Amino acid sequence: MSQLASLTFYHNDDARPVIEAILADNPGVQVLNMPGVVKLDREGDIVIKRTTVEERLGRPWDPQEIHLILISMAGNLDEDDDAFSVSWKHPPPFNRG
């Protein structure tokens, strides 16, 4: 059975580079636009890479800044200095350490 990992963001300027980074690094991600919000879904997992966001943003980006734009999620979450992910896979896409 399908297991969609999901992230929902504000539809605003702060979220745009993160959304673009997700589209670049996660092939097959589905985009659902609702008034004010964007929901991104992908089978199994979604990963946000710090470096990809920084390329678009042109400044250092701390994955914890996601607290300012994230509205909802589905999946087991993992976060460190370089990436942020939600996943239904075991083990998750990058190791807990």
Enter the DSSP assignment of 44: S
Phi, psi of 18 (to 5 degrees): -70, -40
Closer Cβ to other proteins, 59 or 90, answer by number: 90
Minimum CB separation of residue 25 from other proteins in Å reads 20
Q: Does 39 bind other proteins (CB under 8 A)?
A: yes
Residue 16: CB atoms within 10 A of its CB come to 16
21, 6 contact by CB (below 8 A): no
DSSP 19: H
| Smallest distance from other proteins to CB 60, Å | 12
- For 35, the token pair is 């008034």
Considering only 16-24, 28-36, 51-59, which stretch makes contact with other proteins by CB under 8 A?
28-36
Question: Is 4 an interacting residue with respect to other proteins (CB under 8 A)?
Answer: yes
Nearest to 54 by CA among 8, 22, 21, 13: 21
Please tell me whether residue 75 binds other proteins under the rule CB under 8 A.
yes
Binding site for other proteins (CB under 8 A): 1-6, 8, 10, 34-37, 39, 63-64, 67-81, 88, 90, 97
